[in-house]
A and B are shown apart, each in its own frame.
Chain A
Amino acid sequence: MDNLRELYQEVILDHNKNPRNFRAMENPDGFAHGANPLCGDQIDVYLNLKDGVVEDVSFDGHGCAICTSSASMMTIELKGKTEAEALALFESFHHALTDDEPHPNDVPLGKLKVLTGVKEFPVRVKCATLAWHTFDAALKKVQGDISTE
């Protein structure tokens, strides 16, 4: 199981145990529900925007360690970002998990880098990106369910 340390790093396990910004929001500007039907992950992402900047973002629901920790880290990274910065980070994060070569416009991942070990576990990529897809949907103020399928 030692090779799994790359996947389940201490930081990830910590976020899984104590997820940050793990709460529902009363009247969010944006909200979306995300589900991964394959493994039963379900999360809600809540979002408040002010002048095009992510003022607050939170999530609740249940998922595996990769899903939960990714959601938790996402909320930390997103606060204070403009919409464009947030989307650029989402795209760059997605590239890092799925593509061998970086894309020219990719932005630095910062602390999210710890999640890139997921790339070696293709069936788990959806777990790591569910929160981001859901955030993306919330950002677009798309109501209702989205799916990673």
Chain B
Amino acid sequence: MSNTDQYDVASIRNDFPILGEKIHGKPLVYLDNAASSQHPAQVINAVKELYESGYSNIHRGVHQLSQDATKAYENGRSAVRGFINADCMHEVVFTSGTTESINLVAQSYARPRLQKGDEILITHMEHHSNIVPWQIVCEQTGAELKVVPISDRGELEMDRFAELLNERTALVSVTQVSNALGTVNPVAEIIEAAHALGVPVLVDGAQAVPHIPVDVQALDCDFYAFSGHKLYGPTGIGVLYGKEKLLNAMPPYQGGGDMILSVSFDGTTYNTLPYKFEAGTPNIAGVVGLGAAIEYVQKTGLGAIAAHEYGLLEYATSELKQIDGLRIIGEADHKAGLISFVLDQVHPHDIGTMLDAEGVAIRTGHHCAQPVMERYKIPATARASFGMYNTLQEIDVLVEAIHKTIGMFS
């Protein structure tokens, strides 16, 4: 508990209006942060203020509101740049989320380059959104998808990674934190090994950015993808970071407004980075909300948040392990704040309904990671995932609710 003493979780909780809600008459215990996190008033207000007093379409508008909205939008980009320490603003491309970011790289970077016999290397613990875009591009090009296996504990088998990485590998795409297991992967090591063979690496940071300070230059990753809505920001907004050299060499992902410099029926000149990849009117309010979310997270500090969540993870792990018939799926040495588990007697779906009755929101199912479920020969898990506002007392409520569940089903 010591590392949570300095952390003012009560004041953080006060910033999140939804945490005062009651669910079935019980105080909400929100442990579904890996699916989507809640929003502090600072984010809600930033979006509200934009719509109330600062909204217009951005870019090319000569009127005041358009200039204000453009500034707010680009301030959001600046916040993201600082947050992940990108070298420059135009390496930050706004997308609808991690899924679109990965699809963009698959179609704009990989597809034109891939040839029959080339390989894309992913891992067994990827979210479906870091599997299917590669399956699609492999189908389109004749390239092959290779998968790094995972151990019983839920860690990547790094010796197998070293064997699978070869001169045919065109790209490595790997999650930094597993959404189903909580495993934190050694992405720096992976990037270093891939670069030694000249292979670029995309890091899926959807589950990482709310929990781990990320520095894309220190990592030296070629692409980094994440979403706003797991980072206390709005849905429908995400980021693709890409190294300037790579992004410049890629054709646009979609055609439309804002991604062009000039259009005629003889041909079109594409806009410069990052606008080349931002076709159509973007999610202006989403960017403003994301900027506010980043500012909010930075105020507390990701280091402090990570330490707080680690305290929750350690406490929850030791408490859950004492429950007879409960098995934790994913026991990597290095985990972020989520625990997948199954009960001998109770199906995860029933656990979810029982916990809900106690006000405890968790996720149950395959977590869009069916290969992980298959790997551990389970149909589904129950998953409790922690955020910056969760408390040790909430873990106690979770544990008590699990005991009640077992009591009812035994």
Contacts and interface: CB of A to CB of B under 8 A. Distances in A.
Interface in A59-73: 62-68
12 contacts: A1-B405, A4-B408, A8-B350, A13-B409, A39-B349, A40-B348, A64-B347, A64-B348, A65-B346, A65-B409, A67-B349, A121-B353
Interface stretch (B59-67, B95-103, B219-227, B357-365): B357-365
B400 to A, nearest CB: 11
B24 interface: yes
Contacts of A66: 349-350
Given A13-B409, A40-B365, A41-B379, A64 B350 contact: yes
Given A63-B347, A64-B347, A127-B349, A38 B408 contact: no
A39 B408 contact: no
A3 B24 CA distance: 9
Contacts of B357: 1, 3-4
Contacts of A8: 350, 408-409
Contacts, number: 62
A57 interface: no
The 10 A-B pairs of least Cβ separation, nearest first, read A40-B379, A64-B349, A64-B347, A40-B380, A39-B349, A1-B357, A65-B350, A64-B350, A4-B357, A39-B365
Interface string B366-393: 1000000100001110000000000000
| Contact residues of A: prevailing secondary structure | mixed
Interface residues of B, number: 22
Contacts of A41: 349, 379
B44 interface: no
Contacts of B46: none
Contacts of B349: 39-41, 63-64, 66-67, 124, 127
Interface of B: 24, 346-350, 353-354, 357-358, 364-366, 373, 378-380, 401, 404-405, 408-409
A124 B353 contact: yes
A136 B36 CA distance: 37
A121 B349 CA distance: 12
A40 B373 contact: yes
A32 interface: no
- Please classify the interface of chain B as helix (H, G, I), strand (E, B), loop, or mixed, using the class held by over half of its residues: helix
A127 to B, nearest CB: 7
Interface residues of A, number: 23
Contacts of A64: 347-350
Contacts of A139: none
Contacts of B373: 40
A40 B366 contact: yes
Contacts of A131: none
Nearest to A62: B379
B329 to A, nearest CB: 13
Given A39-B365, A40-B373, A40-B379, A4 B347 contact: no
Interface in A13-62: 13, 16, 37-42, 62
A7 interface: yes
Contacts of B401: 1
Contact of A42 (B353, B379, B405): B379
A38 to B, nearest CB: 6
A7 B353 contact: yes
A96 B366 CA distance: 29
Contact of A39 (B346, B358, B380): B380
A11 to B, nearest CB: 14
A3 B359 CA distance: 13
A14 to B, nearest CB: 11
